[in-house]
Each structure stands twice: as C-alpha cells, then as structure tokens.
Amino acid sequence: MEGLSQGPRAEASFRLRLGDRRTFADRALTLIAIGLGVSALLPLFSVLYMLVVRGSPLLSLELLTELTPGAGMESGGIGNAILGTVVVVMLAAGMSLPLGLFAAIYLAEYGEDSGLSVVVRFAGKVLSGMPSILAGVFAYAIAVSALGSFSAFAGGVALAILIVPTVMLTAEEALRLVPSKMKQAALGMGATRAQMVTKVLIPTAMPGILTGVMLALSRAAGETAPLLLTALFSDYWFDGKLGEPIASLAVLIYNFSGSPFEYQVNLAWAASLVLVALVLLFNVLAQVVTRRPEEH
Amino acid sequence: MAQPATKQPVSGLSEASRRSPIARPPDAWQGAFERAFRWTACGLAAGVVLLLAGVVFEVVRRAGGSMGKLGFAFLTDSVWDANGDRFGILPSIVGTLYTSALALLIGGGLGVTTAIVLSQGFLPRRAELVMKNVIELLAAIPSVVYGLWGIYVLIPALRPIADLLHEKLGFLPLFSTKLSGPGILPASLVLSIMILPTVTAIAREGMVAVPRRLAAAAYGLGATRWEVIFRVILPTARGGIFGALVLGFGRALGETMALAMLVGNTNRFGWSLLSPGNTLSALLANHFPEAGEVEVGALMCAALVLLLITLAVNALGSLIMRRARRGLTGLG
C-alpha cells in the first residue's frame, strides 16, 4: 500500500488526461455518439412541433363534427373520417381479437411445443413482418373483387390481418408470465383446465393482454395503405352500410396532402394532429397499464 | 376381474364427494366446457396458419392468372402504361432495393449508435429508459403523417442543400439531377427515420445480452469505454446487430405510405438521389384504387414479387437472430 502511493509517477498514471490519445479518442467518440443519438430524436420533435403549429389553429368543435369539404370549400371538418376510423378499427377488432386471443391461449396453455404451435408461432411472425399493403391486397382480392365494391367490411378485414399477429404474440408472452404456482394451485383445487384459464390465467395476465391489444389497435388506426385498397374514402357519414366505402383519418390525410387547396391541406394537418394524439394516448395508456417485469 | 373391485371404492368416494360442496369431479357441463374451450383454442390457432396460407395462396393465384399474359417482360420492362396494357416493374424493384439500402445506411448507422448510447451506461438508468420509450414513440407515429411532414417540412428544407450539391457535385451520378420536389433522397431519409426504432430496439437487446463479466474483464485490464465497446461488446453482439439491420431492411422494403407520398411515382430509375423514382409498395398504393381488370392482374404480380422479397429478407433476419442467441449461450 505504502509503496504504491509513494511515487509521483504512479499517482499521475491513474489520472485521465485529455492530452492522452486514448482518453481523447474516448471522449470524442462519446460526444459524437450522444450527438448522433440526440439527432435521431430531432425528427420526432420536428413532427410533433409541426403538428401542433399547423394542426391546432383549426381545432374546434366544427372540425370534429362536420363533413369533409369538397374542392375549394373553405369550411368543413373531419367528423366523418373520425367516425369512419372508429368503425373500421372496431370491425377489425371484432374479427381479429377472438382469433388472436384464443390462438395465444392455445400457444401458452395447450400447445406447449407441439407441431401445431411451432407452425402457428411461425405464421404469426411471418404475418407481423409482412408489409401492411399486402394485407390490403389480400382483402382486395377476397372482399372487394368478390363483392364488387370498395367497402368498410373489406377495410376491417385488411386491418384485422394486421392486428392478429401482434395480439397473439404479446398475449402469449403475457400468459406465459403468470407464475406456474398459481396455475398449479388452481388445478390442485380441482379446477378443470378451462376453468383455470378463464378464472386464474386470463385475469392475472389481463394487463399484459390489454397492452398488446391497445398497441395493435392504435397501430391499425394509423394504417393507410391497406385502407386505400379496401375502404377507399367517402365524403359522407357512415350510415350503417358496411358494404360501401367509408372515410378514415389516415386516407383523409393522404388525399388532402397533395391537394392544391390550402384549406384541405390544413385539414390534413389537423387530422394528423387528432390521429397522432389518439395513437400516442393509446400508447401511453398501454405503458401505464403494465410495466414490464425487467424494468421493475 | 380387477376392474369391478377397484371401481367399487372409487364410485363410493365420488358418491360422497358429490354431496360435498368443497370437492367434486367436474359435472357434465364443466366437462363439455372444457372440451369446447380446448377445441376452440386449437381451431382458432390453426386459423392463424390458415390466414397466412390464405394470403399467400390468394396473391399467388391472382398473380398466376396474369403472369402468363404478361410474360417475362414484366420483370425487365420499365414502362407502366395502363392504357397501352404494358406493365413492367423493373424500375420499381430496383427503386425498392435502392431506397431501402439508403435507409439502412443512414437509419441503421444511427440506430446502432443509439443502441450503444442506450446500453453502455452513458446515461443514468432512468434517462436511458425514458429515451428508449421516446425512440419507441417514433415507431408509433403513422407513416402517412411522416409523409405529410416530408412533403411540407423535409422537402423544402432539403431544397437549398440539394441545389448546392447539384451545383458543386453535379458531375457525380449521385447528384446529377435537380431536386424537383419528391425524390429518392427525401423518401430514403423518412424511411431511415421509420426503421431506426426497429434497429435500435433489436440491436440494444443484443448488446444488453452480452454478459457483464466480459466487459468487466476488459475494464479491469485498463481498457477505455470505447475500447470495450469496439473490442468486446460489438464483436460479441455482432449477430444481434446484424439481425437488427436485416430486419430493419425488411421493414424498409415493405413501407408504403411515406414512399407513395415522397418518392415521386415515376417509373424511371436513375442513380441520382435527387431524381424521382418508384417502389413496389408505392406502385401498389398509387395504382390499385383506380385500376382496371388487366392492371389489377399486373399489380397482383407486383404484390407477389414484394411478398417474396420481404419473406426472404425477414427469414434471413430471423435465422441470423436465432444463430446469434445460440452463439451467446455458454458465455454467461
């Protein structure tokens, strides 16, 4: 101990000096990396800033309740598009949630590592990596061509294909996180497997399942490409007919983004603000509902 | 002989337990529920597989119908003319690969750097988590909103830079045309923003999985932080990082709206970053809503090509990820 701290040379060698080549390289790389990391966040802030600046002046009750304006009109809102997005997403949820959730229950509880569950998991991964426009192409092939018209129903089918894999994979993970002690206790008390699943497994895993569902639905609400091929757009209110084209926020943004009319472009910004606000709200809610165990 | 003998006490027991409110065997209804539940779960799980099979089958069937009529010229022709019934997707295929490669170059580099910043203790743990969630928000913003932002914010901002590049470096093929508005460069930039969260999340996962004792050993030998990163963390996590890049590439290939709005929808391919181009997904989005019967057939073929390319890239990415995970076991 004495010997180590005696000489001035030994003491100096433990201090980091910027003149040293290795220290300098280390500090410089740190600065560059943090700079790049921050610059990766710039687009996000720019997008959010522009949404507020260009979208908020139009925010009013009329915006949310009036029909989309035609070419050259100076008034009107996005009411039918908001309602349309809600209708199509609900339709898609109705079709996809039973499929995704039951498949997840099978994977987590019944399938174990059977041949079927390997194939199901593979199919889920492939579906979740598939470009969203291909879901639109498929829905076009089976619903639009067959029924002879673009329709809200076809839009629901397209979005459902995108929701299924997300819900299935996240719900399976949530179900697997339930401690096996709880499952064994239920079975030991004489519960059938189905009783154990519905009364113990699902309620315990509910927060995780809900997170996945909310993330999947909010992503579906922002999907544009599949709707362009299926639901198209409508300048009128949804009147209960699922076999006709329907408006949506996403397609409205796309249609009006290239419009030569200032007012329509402004509406596109306002619709983006509403859409992003909805999506972010869902995302934050989803993160509040569960905190992943690794982050406790 | 043995059966009735053993059955006697069991049925006697169940007789007793049927009267007990605490323990009794499942009644008929509960048994039926059990069976129905299991078969529903099994059937719907199979339904997910059928869904994928249906998508692939339907696209292949529709494409197959018109593949014969279009012939091989479909893949090599560069004219898309619905009135003249000439459909070629070569510029779209090349454009898809070109924009995605550029996006990978920019977004991949930034994503891996961000993953390093978020995994190697540069920030306090709390700040790390906050920044990780903010990066994930980048992925939550719908692609059509990025398209709108690209048209009204990014392209005007790029214009002076692009004009300067064309003026000074116009002799390079990369800058040989003027930026007339939409083009390869704005499209690739927006694409790179969109794949950044994917690359960051997966690459970070790979870096976090590197056993801490490996880094600790290097620190103990007197290495600086970046020496540890370059010589221990990155080589050990290279499988995960490579997988992240491939999966990010797969994402870029299929991304549609931002490209449909920003790439220019011109069926001509040029190396210039400032010229307009086209991609498979943008072709589908721009032409499907108004296509006639013959054009729909051609678009189905384009969809099949897109499906095959993305399937191949995603399969490669998953394979690399699986090998990377296996490679790490035993190090811990």
Beta bridge partners of B87: B80
Contacts for A92 with CB less than 8 Å, ≥ 6 apart:
A155, A156, A157, A158, A159, A160, A162, A163, A220
Element of type H or E holding B80: strand B80-81
User: Do B249 and B313 contact (CB within 8 A), yes or no?
Assistant: yes
Q: Which residue of B has its CA nearest to A26?
A: B226
Residue B273: which domain range?
70-328
Residues from chain A that touch B59, judged by Cβ atoms under 8 A, are: 134, 137-138, 141
- Tell how far CA B270 is from the center of its chain: 26
The answer, for A172 touching chain B at a CB cutoff of 8 Å, is: no
Tell me which chain A residues have a C-beta less than 8 angstroms from the C-beta of B46. 116, 120
Model pLDDT, residue B219: 92
Residue among B113, B129, B306 minimizing CB distance to A33? B113
Nearest-by-CA chain A residue for B300 = A137
What residues in chain B have per-residue pLDDT under 70? 1-23, 329-332
Asked if B142's CB is within 8 angstroms of A222's CB, the reply is yes
Mean of the per-residue pLDDT values of chain A: 88
Rounded to a whole number of angstroms, the distance between the first and last alpha carbons of chain A is 41
Neighbouring CB atoms inside 10 A of B231's CB total: 12
Residues of A within 8 A of B42 (CB-CB) are 106, 110-111, 116
Q: Do A123 and B49 touch (CB under 8 A)?
A: yes
Q: pLDDT tens digit string along A118-177?
A: 999 999 999 999 999 999 999 999 998 888 889 999 999 999 999 999 999 999 999 999
Min Cα separation B1/chain A (Å): 30
B86 forms bridges with which residues in the sheet? B81
Nearest by CB to residue A279, choosing from B111, B140, B227, is B140
User: pLDDT value at position A3?
Assistant: 44
Q: What is the mean pLDDT of residues A57-85?
A: 89
CA–centroid distance for B106 within its chain = 16
- What is the pLDDT at residue A291? 58
**Phi/psi of residue B80, each to 5°?**
-120, 100
What residue has token string 């391919």? Answer: B269
Residue B32 falls within a domain, yes or no? no
**3-class state of residue A119 by DSSP:** helix
Spell out the residues 6+ positions from residue B229 whose beta carbon is closer than 8 angstroms to its own.
Answer: B116, B120
Distance CA A138, CA A154 (A): 10
One DSSP character per residue, B222-240 reads T--HHHHIIIIIHHHTHHH
Q: What is the pLDDT of residue A13?
A: 57
Instruction: Decide: B41 and A103 in contact? Cβ < 8 Å.
Output: yes
pLDDT at A10 over 50: no
Segment A80-105 shows an average pLDDT of 96
Q: Which is nearest to B25 in space by CA: B15, B33, B36, B37?
A: B15
**B88 belongs to a structural domain:** yes
Nearest-angstrom CA–CA distance, B286 and B273: 21
Residue A288 in contact with partner chain B when CB distance is under 8 A? no
Cβ <8 Å between A43 and B250: no
Stretch among A19-23, A94-98, A180-184, B232-236 having the lowest mean pLDDT: A19-23
Please tell me the predicted confidence (pLDDT) of residue B278. 92
Given B133, B311, B314, which is nearest A287 (Cβ)? B133
Number of CB pairs < 8 Å for A and B? 263
The model's pTM is 0.88
Q: Which fold has domain A61-295?
A: MetI-like fold (1.10.3720)
- Does residue B3 lie within any of the structural domains? no
Share of chain A above pLDDT 70, in %: 92
**Quick one: pLDDT at residue A160?**
97
Residues 77-96 of A with CB under 8 A from B: none
Say yes or no: A268 contacts chain B, CB-CB below 8 A: yes
Task: Bin B154: left if φ > 0, else alpha if -120 < ψ < 50, else beta.
Answer: alpha
Facing residue for B144 by CB, picked from A51, A100, A253 = A253
Instruction: Tell me if chain B has a CB within 8 Å of the CB of A47.
Output: yes
Window 112-151 of A, Cβ < 8 Å to B: 116-117, 119-120, 123-127, 129-138, 140-142, 145, 150
Chain B nearest-CA residue for A292: B129
Please report residues of A whose CB lies closer than 8 A to that of B117: 33-34, 36-37
Confidence of residue A32 (pLDDT cuts 50, 70, 90): very high
Distance in angstroms (rounded) separating the CA atoms of residues A144 and A293: 44
- Chain B residue numbers with beta carbons less than 8 Å from the beta carbon of A295 are 129
Q: Do B58 and A138 touch (CB under 8 A)?
A: yes
| Residues in CB range of A87: below 8 A, 6 or more apart | A152, A238, A246
> For the ranges A13-17, A75-79, A89-93, B82-86, which has the lowest average pLDDT?
A13-17
pLDDT on residue B10: 47
**Under an 8 A CB cutoff, do A23 and B55 touch?**
no
Nearest CA in chain B to A254: B144
CA dist B214 and B205 (Å) reads 16
| Distance to chain A for B294, nearest Cα, Å | 13
What is the C-alpha separation between B42 and B49, in angstroms, rounded? Answer: 11
Distance from A124 to chain B by nearest Cα, in Å?
Answer: 7
Q: What is the CATH number of the domain that holds B208?
A: 1.10.3720.10
Query: Stretch A179-184: mean pLDDT, rounded?
Result: 92
ipTM: 0.89
H/E element, B86 = strand B86-87
Q: What is the pLDDT of residue A189?
A: 87
**Interface check A197 vs B, CB under 8 A:** yes
- The predicted pLDDT at position A20 comes to 80
> Structurally, how many domains does chain B consist of?
1
Per CB-CB distance under 8 Å, the chain B contacts of A40 are 110-111, 113-114, 135, 196, 200
Q: How far is A239 from chain B (nearest CA, A)?
A: 22
Mean pLDDT of A226-232: 93
| Token pair for A92 | 């898609």
Closest CA to A110 of A161, A166, A205, A176: A176
Which chain B residues contact residue A254 at CB under 8 A?
Answer: 144, 147, 257, 260-261
**A111 and B227 in contact by Cβ < 8 A?**
no
The token duo for B307 is 């499906």
Could you tell me the pLDDT band of residue A286, with boundaries at 50, 70 and 90? confident
B40-96 pLDDT, tens digit each: 999 999 999 999 999 999 999 999 888 877 877 888 888 888 887 888 899 999 999
Whole-number Å distance between alpha carbons of B100 and B189: 10
